[in-house]
Amino acid sequence: MAKTVLLHVDSLECASCVSSVGKSLRNNFIKDYTVSLREKEIEVVYDENETNAKEIRKILKKSGYKGTIVSES
């Protein structure tokens, strides 16, 4: 089943950041993602049978972006 997590990432500042985040989130259990530079937020839709919001946060951290979980649904 698909779940959604919204993360706030203070260090999102440019198109290069969006590209880097996109590369780190491209895998089988990530269904979709949306990055908002204006809001400095990333919305990720993922397969809850394969991962969870904390693991997605860890993926972002490994690529240099510290995310704070704003909401999960």
Report how many domains make up the chain.
Answer: 1
Q: What residue numbers bound the domain in which 50 lies?
A: 2-72
pLDDT tens for the chain, residues 1 to 73: 899 999 999 999 898 988 999 889 888 689 999 999 999 999 999 999 999 999 999 999 998 999 999 999 9
- 35, 34, 33: which is closest to 14 by C-alpha? 35
Burial grade of 7 (CB within 10 A; 0-12, 13-18, 19 or more): buried
- Residue 33 maps to which CATH number? 3.30.70.100
How much is the pLDDT for 38?
93
Give the pLDDT score at 29: 87
